[in-house]
Amino acid sequence: MTGKRPQVDIALVHHPVVNKHGETIGSAVTNLDLHDIARAARTFGVENYYVITPYTDQQAMVREICDHWQTGHGATRNPARKSALELIRISSSLDETLESISRQRLVRPLILSTSAKPQSNTLSYDAARELIASGRPLLLLFGTAHGLAPEISAMADHCLPPISGSTNYNHLSVRSAVSIIFDRLLSVST
Amino acid sequence: MTGKRPQVDIALVHHPVVNKHGETIGSAVTNLDLHDIARAARTFGVENYYVITPYTDQQAMVREICDHWQTGHGATRNPARKSALELIRISSSLDETLESISRQRLVRPLILSTSAKPQSNTLSYDAARELIASGRPLLLLFGTAHGLAPEISAMADHCLPPISGSTNYNHLSVRSAVSIIFDRLLSVST
């Protein structure tokens, strides 16, 4: 990618999200979401990976996992994992996340939500790549469970189009969706 | 994608692979590799997902997991998961996998290996997309642990280039790598 250094962050939302009936719920943090998404973030130069959950027991669990790989036995055994997991930031809400990013970037990021279903107000992947190359700070929002609650999506400036394969099946894991979207937005030409 | 129907299969190799010292080992099957990669395969129209392991206890575990989601409680609770996991085929070796594909496709598939490190004899993603659009049956090989053993890579016709983000970090999970490569080879234009 030519242009300025990408200033891209990601947030994985565990509350508020919706269940399969569209009801607002909070989901549990999944260990592999921490590892896989941190490794992908590290690969593609994403600088902060916010894990959003208001539940203090869940926050403590995330902290324990990160500590194991950053200062515990895992840090010496697997330095590559250390350098991925150190991108993780624990956050209680999207508001708190936005405050943190704004302090760091000195500007409110452009918020791009994601969804497995088509949404209004979409921004194409090409347009998003151009914004990134122009140096615009950008926050990518991903939901767990059955996706972001409407009040979270409403805080986004735009939504990225769903990932469509050659079928009408739209049940990718969030780990797969994040990886693909990083690649579409941040890969270098090969 | 214009052209003929893609005829793409994937194999996830658990033996022979290498450990971090480059020694040949067999790795354990990971539950989430089954789920995430099956869901991605289903999304992108990949038709067979071969899980290669010679260990009969590991084969039995894969069978139990697939049964749970195909005929057990999981099938009624989550039909979308059923339609993904039914792509899984248990196989003892790459040779057995090639025989199975050749019977089904009536031709030996072109074998493309993958690696986190640059290899000789690479085929570009654009060239692979063209082959797929021409209707050529193709098998994508992915390794677990620290990657495919040399004798497996030697059976491939070509290797796809490593996935490069904007950094020199090359430790994506196999789940992320598979998802990104499916998207590069099989996504429809948006």
**Domain ranges across chain B:** 8-186
Q: CA-CA distance, A129 to B69, in Å (whole number)?
A: 38
Taking contacts as CB-CB distances below 8 angstroms, the residues of chain A near B84 are: 169, 171
Q: What pLDDT, on the 0 to 100 scale, is given for residue B190? A: 54
The arithmetic mean of pLDDT across residues B61-78, rounded, is 90
Give the pLDDT confidence of A61-114 residue by residue, as tens digits: 999 999 999 888 888 888 889 999 999 999 999 999 999 999 999 999 999 999
By Cβ distance, the residue of B36, B42, B169 closest to A175 is B36
Asked if B182's CB is within 8 angstroms of A36's CB, the reply is no
Asked if A36's CB is within 8 angstroms of B176's CB, the reply is yes
Give me the CATH code for the A8-186 domain, please: 3.40.1280.10
Taking contacts as CB-CB distances below 8 angstroms, the residues of chain A near B81 are: 171
Q: CA-CA distance, B114 to B131, in Å (whole number)?
A: 17
Give the list of residues 6+ apart from residue B139 with CB closer than 8 angstroms, or none. B8, B9, B10, B11, B97, B98, B101, B109, B110, B111, B112
Q: What pLDDT, on the 0 to 100 scale, is given for residue B61? A: 97
Q: CA-CA distance, B19 to B25, in Å (whole number)?
A: 6
Asked if B165's CB is within 8 angstroms of A187's CB, the reply is yes
Coil vs helix vs strand at B164: coil
Residue A1 confidence (pLDDT) above 60: no
Rg (CA), chain B: 16
CB-CB contact of B20 with B171 (8 Å)? no
For residue A13, give Cα distances in angstroms to A52, A89, A113, A148, A164.
5, 12, 11, 7, 22
A186 touches chain B (CB under 8 A): yes
Average pLDDT for chain A: 95
Angstroms from A122 CA to nearest CA on chain B = 12
In chain B, whose CA is at the least distance from the CA of A165?
A: B44
Report how many Cβ contacts below 8 Å link chain A to chain B: 132
Question: Looking at chain A, which runs of residues are DSSP E strands?
Answer: 8-13, 17-18, 24-25, 48-52, 88-91, 110-113, 138-143, 158-159
Instruction: Indicate the pLDDT class of residue B78, thresholds 50, 70 and 90.
Output: confident
By Cβ distance, the residue of A1, A172, A183 closest to B39 is A172
A78 touches chain B (CB under 8 A): no
Angstroms from A54 CA to nearest CA on chain B = 26
| Residue to test with chain A: of B2, B122, B190, most A Cβ within 10 A | B190
Q: What pLDDT, on the 0 to 100 scale, is given for residue B96? A: 98
Give the pLDDT confidence of A119-149 residue by residue, as tens digits: 989 999 999 999 999 999 999 999 999 999 9
Q: CA-CA distance, A183 to B180, in Å (whole number)?
A: 7
Any idea which residue has 């995330």 for tokens? A62
Give the pLDDT confidence of A42-64 residue by residue, as tens digits: 999 999 999 999 999 999 999 99
By Cβ distance, the residue of B163, B175, B183 closest to A175 is B175
